[in-house]
Each structure stands twice: as structure tokens, then as C-alpha cells.
Structure 1
Amino acid sequence: MLNTLLDEIRRCRACEPHLPLGANPVIQANENAKLLIIGQAPGTRVHQTSIPWNDPSGDRLRDWLQLDKIAFYDARNIAIMPMGLCYPGKGTSGDLPPRKECAPLWHNKVLQQLPNIGMTLLIGQYAQNYYLSDKPKTLTETVRQWDRWAPQYIPLPHPSPRNTLWLRKNPWFEQEIVPYIRHYVHQHLAIEPK
């Protein structure tokens, strides 16, 4: 049933008139997955390769999780479903926000097929605004209060190289939250640290 749904999602063209590079929904899921990663939307490199987090942001995310690419792309352990499944286009200061049609159209249907998810990483404000109620106004405060939602949801900053300054200003993130996530990943996914 999940495979049928994934095929349907990959054929979705709901937003195509608004997408500068056309529709190419990028998603990874398996009914056995125990970790779900919900980010913003694919960038151009991900759009071109159809491989989620196939960019410098993904390199940093894999470093946070202490996973190599083989483990990261094993859908039996890790599901990846962005807020917007297609590349939304360029904005004035980076990519445009994820299209608003995707999450209401697909997320709940996918989540119903993922009964083993024990932790969901909410990367960036779009995912956090959609999934967390009664959260602080800023991303920094939301991430700082991560333990309010743990282990079900863990709010994270985007691992983009653009956020290197944020990471330097907030060393507590890599000192407190990253080890917590790594522990979950390596305990529940039965993956050897890299």
C-alpha cells in the first residue's frame, strides 16, 4: 500500500504550473522506518538527482547523525518527507518557501503508513510551524526548548552552510541536542556509528 502511495506522490503534478523546473516530488519511505526527517523542500541539486539531502546541507545532517550515505539512504530505517516535495524556485535570499499544497495533500497519508516512527526531526521553521503547537516565535527558542516535544519531535535548525554562524552562536545545539539524536539513531536503527 505504501509503495502505491509513493508512486502516486511521485506522479503528482498539483503545483507544476508554479514550479520553474517542473514537478519532481522527492520522498523516501518504508513501513519499517523508525526515524522521519521532515525538511523544507528540495534544492536544485536534489531536484536534478532525485536524491534527498544530496547536497552540503545533507552532508552536515549526516554528520549530526553520524551516518554514512548507505545508512542514511536505507528507507527501511529512515523516511524523508519534506514540507514541499518539489523544488519551489529561487527567491531573493535563497530558495522560495515550500509549496503549501504538499503537506496537507500528502503528509497524513504517508504518516498513516509509517507505524514505527519513534522520532521525527523537524528541520527549519516550516516543518516546526506545521507540526508543533504552542511553540515559541523564533526558531532559536523553539530549538532551545526541544525537550518539550522529545522524543516524538525534535526541532532543528537547517543544516545549510548558511547557518554556520547560527551554529557558532548556539554551541549548546551540538553539545546537547545532536548527541541525544545520535543516541536514538544508533540505539533504535541498529546502525554502527561511522
Structure 2
Amino acid sequence: MTESLDKLLVRVRNCQICTAHLPLGPRPVVQIARQARIVIIGQAPGLKVHQTGLPWNDASGDNLRSWLGVNREQFYNPELFAIMPMGFCYPGKGKSGDLPPRPECAPAWHRQLWEQLPNIELTLLIGRYAQRYYLAGEGYATLTETVRNWQQYAPARIPLPHPSPRNRRWLSQNPWFTETLLPELKARTQALLANQSHDFSG
């Protein structure tokens, strides 16, 4: 018998498998409900997210919400958006930003969480770690090439660059992202949210 979502989330939020590698200790950050039709798979929480326990609660999250055309109330509604990064805990600082997500996390938990998400119609793969894991054998050599060929994976999956303010240079060098991909991303997101609202009201 499949484990209930509530029991699974208790286990996820009490996970200790990476404790020895986490400078601030474990604080898994995940958002999920069975009704969600969009799942966001990013990298790992930053320091502010670790401190608040709220996913994408930083400048990167502000940019991501702008890309999707949603407000904070919509974004933090687990019945609209499931959020499960490649690493659920803050990995600490490296020489040039945060360290990569811990490699133990996704193999340990993602499959079990996917079993609780029967209604997903759009998966957003943000950053190279999510793309390498979920597009194994389908992705390109670089993130830019993978994102540029996003139509290859749509409509079910859309690869995205990280929305960090540090990526302004990438955005300026790749205007096609803003001109072509973002309008489609917003339209797809809004259509799913509208359909979901209609289904709930009906």
C-alpha cells in the first residue's frame, strides 16, 4: 500500500542522510500536494531559504515568479505548485557561490514524492543539476543548448536557467530566452492554473 503523503513528508523533513556534510545542519525544504499540476525542480535552498524554511524566498524566487507570471500567494499554494529541489537542504558556501546540491537527496526521495503527484502536467527543470538528472540521454552538452532546444521537451517539461540575479549576463547574451521562451512559459503556466481553478470550482 502506498504511504500517505503526510507520513512521507514527516520522513522527508526529518531526513538526516547528509547531516555530516551540511554546515548549518539539515532543514529540508519541500512543498507538495497531490492536486499540483506544476512541479518546480531546482538546485538547493540558499541561505535565506534555509533561514525561513520557505522555498524560493529570495531574489531568485522573485525572478522566477515574474517568469511564470504568478504572485506569492499562488506560488506558495502547494495545490498549484509542487517544489522539490535536487537537494532539499542548504549545502553551504563554496568559492564561487553555494555548493552543489547533495547527491544523496534526489535518489533517496524524488521517486517517492513523484508517486504522490498524479496530476503533474508541467515539470520545470531549473539549472544544470535538475536537467542532467531528468534529461539523462536527452540533454545537450551545455545548459544554454538544452534551454535553447526547450521545444524538444515541451509541453510536459521545460528546462530553464537559474533565475539568480547573477545570471543577468546570460540573459543579455541570450535574448531569445526572454523573447521566445518566457512568453510560452507564462502562457502554459496560466493555462494550467486556469484549468485547475475551473476543475476545482466545477
Q: Which residue of 2 aligns with 1:80?
A: 83
The reply to whether residue 62 of structure 1 matches residue 77 of structure 2 is no
Structure 1 position 134, deviation (Å): 2.6
Structure 1 position 188, deviation (Å): 1.1
1:42-191 matched pairs, under 5 angstroms: 42-132=45-135, 133-190=137-194
Provide TM-score, normalisation by structure 1: 0.97
Any gaps of 5 or more consecutive residues in structure 2?
198-202
Q: After the TM superposition, list the runs of 4 or more consecutive aligned residues in structure 1 that deviate by more than 6 angstroms.
A: none
Distance of 2:160 and 2:189 partners within structure 1: 15
Q: Which residue of 1 aligns with 2:200?
A: none
For 2:151, the aligned partner's letter is D
Provide TM-score, normalisation by structure 2: 0.93
Q: Which residue of 2 aligns with 1:7?
A: 10
Structure 1 position 176, deviation (Å): 1.2
For 1:186, the aligned partner's letter is Q
Q: Residue 89 of structure 2: SS of its match in structure 1? A: coil
Any gaps of 5 or more consecutive residues in structure 1?
none
2:36 to 33, 37, 44: 33
State, as a whole percentage, how many aligned pairs show the same letter: 57
Structure 1 position 147, deviation (Å): 0.7
Structure 1 position 81, deviation (Å): 0.3
Deviations 1:119-175 (A, max 9, x none): 110000000000002311010000000011111211100000000010011111111
Distance of 2:94 and 2:72 partners within structure 1: 29
